[in-house]
Amino acid sequence: MLIDDVRAWLDGETWRGIGYPDLRDWLDTQVSPAYECDWCGREGDAREADSSICLVVTAWDPDLSPAAQHIFTYKYHSACRPSSVRWVNRADIPSGLQRIALPASMKPEVAGEFDLDAPALLAPGLDDGDQPRAVLLN
């Protein structure tokens, strides 16, 4: 059960600064139809019951987010939540130092991997007349 915002994202109409392969194919072949509903916590299966997805996407911002990037997918029973695109904007991005916790496992063969993107931008100087300083944002 997809709403227009989700269809527009899947069809590439709202991508900005980024390109994805065929997201309808991704939804059909890569996204598991069986899921644990991120709203009620009960199991669901898109092959058996109406289901919905929420795509969490960074809102394009010329300084903070040069790409509208899909960062997470929530899955719901349609009865629990409608499909949506949740645009994450600057107010949702934490500032200052952040602690990152990685999942731990007793199984040594289980590995975690994450990517940190550090876009370069110019920050204003500290004093009037200072030249802008190049900084990395991550």
Closer CB to Zn ion, 55 or 68, in the complex: 55
Closer CB to Zn ion, 28 or 50, in the complex: 50
In the complex, least distance from residue 51 CB atom to Zn ion, rounded to whole angstroms: 9
Residues in touch with Zn ion (CB under 5 A): 37, 39-40, 77, 80
Burial degree of 44 (CB within 10 A; 0-12, 13-18, 19+): buried
In the complex, least distance from residue 54 CB atom to Zn ion, rounded to whole angstroms: 12
End-to-end Cα spacing for the chain: 35
In the complex, least distance from residue 52 CB atom to Zn ion, rounded to whole angstroms: 9
Closer CB to Zn ion, 51 or 65, in the complex: 51
